[in-house]
Amino acid sequence: MAKGKKSDAQDGRTQTWNRKARRALAREIWSENPGLTVVHPDSAGIDVGNTVHYVAVPPGRDTPAVRKFGCFTEDLREMAEWLKSCGIQMVVLQSTGSYWRPLYDVLEAAGLEVFVVNARHTRNLPGRKSDVQESQWLMKLHTYGLLNNSFIPEEKIRELRCYWRQRAEHVQALGTAIQRMQKALTEMNVQLANVISDITGLTGGKILRAIVGGERDGRKLAALRNEHIQASEEEIAKSLQGNWRQESLFVLEQELATYDFYRRKVDECDRQVQRSLGELPTRLPQQGGAEGAGEQEREEGQRAGKRPRSCKNAPHFDLRSELTRVAGVDLTRIDGVDVMTAQTVISEIGLDMSRFKSEGHLASWLGLCPDNQITGGKVVKKGTRPVVNRAATALRLGAWSLIRSKSYLGAQYRRFRARLGAPKAITAMAHKLARLIYRMLKYGQEYVDKGMAAYEEKFRAAQIRNLTARAQELGLQLVETTHQA
């Protein structure tokens, strides 16, 4: 029988399965054969802990069937050798904090297939109060194929993800240091932020360092003004008249040193990110290359009236060209996806989309799909799963930036926002962005924006079809009129 089809025994016709029919068939199959089938006979379960790990193998493989191992590297290697001597091919463990990561690396290096499962999926039944029982329970569930493996990117992507996450922590610390500098200036009634938008820019940085160096004359400080600053020297000098409290100056000096420290750390992370991206294979075709793709993107952007937005916290190297080279496509062509969003998504989900069964599975893993709870045929709760995912957060921020975009996605987001409200519209557009990224990475196709007018025309045609069908139900007829200017 072909996939997605079923034969009708009554009239011999072939009908296409919809979602409801597939679910009904699954229930029938389960009711006919409710027993459990051994799927993974050579499996072992590990209860992960901070100091010790309990490992359970099937009965008959060794005596005792449950052993305890320490957390040191030598103990983990001994565990891997014992599992291989017992004929184990697959190991299942829970994602407990960060304790599972070194265990995962050692077992993976030993040639064992490791399943990392969600702890919520294994605690639905009572009992199993000890670590020994927990390891045996994990082995039993995996033997019958009742556990799903969590998504873990390949090693190179995990390395890139570590550098990028560390960089994000430093950028957040930079923001905290800026806020504390602003607070110290406000306590001294130095209103520099009212005339300069960025106190850590060219002008603001020079003025802050001059203040820390001992300069108090507003005229001399205002003379450090950059020519691109809109405020005049008189306005800047007037804003720099404060009480210069000693304790506030001390805080300002320390926070400025903290800002410089984290800025150096961000630069170090940028070098590691650039090196890690350089080690990834090139997926671009030989002709054109990343530079040709970048030139084509800039030309299309100019034709569409787009202006590339610069981000202060973006890396100093050409991140867009590197991402285009390793991905084979330019994800920044999607409206709402800038180079920082693209880097966050790639570092979190990787480049191999075959790890996800479909684009719907990717959206579900990101927590951007509806998670309706149905009881008695009624929806008792709506919403999405409470997932903390950096890629989903980046996509939501990208969807929020479409509020004034004069593009196809911008017009669609504004319609969603008017109909559903801002929170649901942001999630819906983030879902759509995830699907577009999945298709681009999997099929290698570039995104082409059809424009805001194309979406409005498509929406207008859909409205006309709905009104025509509604009018026919009521026995009426629509008459098109010509609008005059």
Structure confidence by residue, pLDDT tens digits, 14-68: 445 677 777 676 656 555 555 678 889 999 999 999 999 999 999 888 888 899 9
Cβ-contact 79, 101 below 8 angstroms: no
Per-residue pLDDT of 92-143, as tens digits, reads 998 888 899 999 999 999 999 999 998 877 776 566 668 888 888 899 889 9
Give 307's contacts (C-beta < 8 A, 6+ positions apart).
301
The span from the CA of 160 to the CA of 276, in Å, is: 6
Q: 9 with 1: CB under 8 angstroms? A: no
For the chain, give the mean pLDDT: 85
Q: What's residue 180's pLDDT?
A: 95
Whole-number pLDDT of residue 310: 59
Q: What percentage of the chain reaches a pLDDT higher than 70?
A: 86
Query: Does a cis peptide bond (omega within 30 degrees of 0) precede residue 370?
Result: no
Q: What is the per-residue pLDDT for 112?
A: 93
| pLDDT score for 205 | 92
CA distance 333 to 311: 17
What pLDDT score does 370 carry? 84
Return the SS3 of 113: strand
Helices vs strands, H then E, count in the chain = 17, 9
pLDDT of residue 301: 47
Q: At 380, which helix (H) or strand (E)?
A: strand 378-381
Domain 43-143 has CATH 3.40.50.720: no
Q: According to the model, what pLDDT value does residue 311 have?
A: 72
Please report the DSSP string for 424-478 in residue order: HHHHHHHHHHHHHHHHHHHH-PPP----HHHHHHHHHHHHHHHHHHHHHHTT---
What pLDDT is stored for residue 23 in this prediction?
66
Q: pLDDT digit of tens for each residue in the chain (485 aa)? A: 444 444 444 444 444 567 777 767 665 655 555 567 888 999 999 999 999 999 999 988 888 889 999 999 999 999 999 999 999 999 999 888 889 999 999 999 999 999 999 887 777 656 666 888 888 889 988 998 888 888 999 999 999 999 999 999 999 999 999 999 999 999 999 999 899 988 998 999 999 999 999 999 989 999 999 888 888 989 999 999 989 999 999 999 999 999 999 999 999 999 999 999 999 999 877 544 444 444 554 445 444 445 455 577 889 899 999 999 999 999 999 999 999 999 999 999 999 999 999 999 999 999 998 887 877 778 888 878 888 899 999 999 999 999 998 999 999 999 999 999 999 999 999 999 999 999 999 998 889 888 888 888 888 888 888 888 888 888 888 887 876 54
